[in-house]
């Protein structure tokens, strides 16, 4: 009987170890490097070429605004759930999501705007002309 308990225990540990090792790694969105190489490691990070996209929609946007939006997104939005990729949803969906989640995250109007502009800019940059 003791051998069965040992086998059962070792089997459980092995299954647990396999499950833990097969977990999908989370996207690291806490990095602050803004180079193109960093974007390959972190597809959510804004890059300087994103600024041209943002300015076509919101002419007063600065690269600092995009970085701030990213920072808020990576800090507040991932407190409760994994980061959502900007291209996962269309613009209308993001409008609804941001309205709901902006309230939950207690974003002020400036923070809300920076996150929303960052997400839509990054979405367009990722999708390119395939929006």
- 96 in any annotated domain: yes
Would you say 91 and 80 are in contact if contact means Cβ atoms under 8 Å apart?
no
- 16 in any annotated domain: no
The total domain count for the chain is 1
- 20 in any annotated domain: no
DSSP 50-63: HHHHHHHH-TT--H
The reported pTM is: 0.67
Q: Give the pLDDT confidence of 103-123 residue by residue, as tens digits.
A: 999 999 999 999 999 999 999
Q: Give the pLDDT confidence of 26-83 residue by residue, as tens digits.
A: 444 444 444 455 445 688 899 999 999 999 999 999 999 999 999 999 988 888 888 8
- Token pair, residue 28, equals 């690291």
Would you say 116 and 94 are in contact if contact means Cβ atoms under 8 Å apart?
yes
- 7 in any annotated domain: no
- 66 in any annotated domain: yes
- 117 in any annotated domain: yes
C-alpha triplet 47, 52, 53: angle, nearest 5°: 85
Q: Which residues contact 89 (CB under 8 A, 6 or more apart)?
A: 97, 123
Domain span at residue 111 reads: 27-130
- 15 in any annotated domain: no
- 113 in any annotated domain: yes
């Amino acid at each position: 009987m003791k051998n069965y308990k040992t086998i059962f225990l070792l089997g459980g540990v092995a299954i647990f170890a396999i499950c833990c090792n097969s977990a999908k790694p989370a996207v690291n969105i806490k990095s602050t490097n803004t180079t193109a190489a960093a974007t390959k490691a972190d597809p959510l990070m804004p890059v300087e070429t994103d600024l041209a996209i943002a300015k076509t929609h919101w002419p007063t946007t600065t690269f600092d605004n995009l970085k701030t939006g990213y920072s808020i997104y990576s800090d507040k939005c991932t407190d409760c759930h994994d980061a959502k990729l900007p291209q996962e949803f269309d613009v209308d969906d993001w409008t609804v999501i941001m309205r709901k989640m902006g309230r939950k995250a207690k974003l002020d109007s400036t923070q809300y705007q920076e996150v929303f502009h960052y997400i839509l800019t990054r979405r367009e940059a990722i999708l390119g002309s395939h929006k």
